Amino acid sequence: DQQVKQNSPSLSVQEGRISILNCDYTNSMFDYFLWYKKYPAEGPTFLISISSIKDKNEDGRFTVFLNKSAKHLSLHIVPSQPGDSAVYFCAASSDRGSTLGRLYFGRGTQLTVWP
């Protein structure tokens, strides 16, 4: 049972425009959300995260929005660059305390940014 869903397996965006990657979750106990970026044959790299007490977190070109009532989050990349082309994984956690604990991942969205 997939508790974190990324319904778009791929997204193609022109350089300079905004990329919007979406993620939905079903478990209302999730209280921390992360986005990871992954290149082929490499491990995922942490991008940005958001706690459930916030609805927006921004870091440079990356902004994550959280809509708890809809159990939906999105990652905005603006402006998009060709180097952003990768698979983006949404992940969620429900463990608090000193560590984040187990992460539940979506299937990923392949982002392609073309010149």
88 binds other proteins (CB under 8 A): no
Query: Using CB under 8 A, which of 12, 26, 27, 45 touches other proteins?
Result: 45
Query: What phi and psi values does residue 83 have, to the nearest 5 degrees?
Result: -70, -10
Kindly state the smallest distance separating residue 50's Cβ from other proteins, in Å: 11
Query: Using CB under 8 A, which of 13, 21, 30, 106 touches other proteins?
Result: 106
60 binds other proteins (CB under 8 A): no
Q: Which of 64, 63, 66 is nearest to 55 (CA)?
A: 66
Cis peptide before 79 (omega within 30 of 0): yes
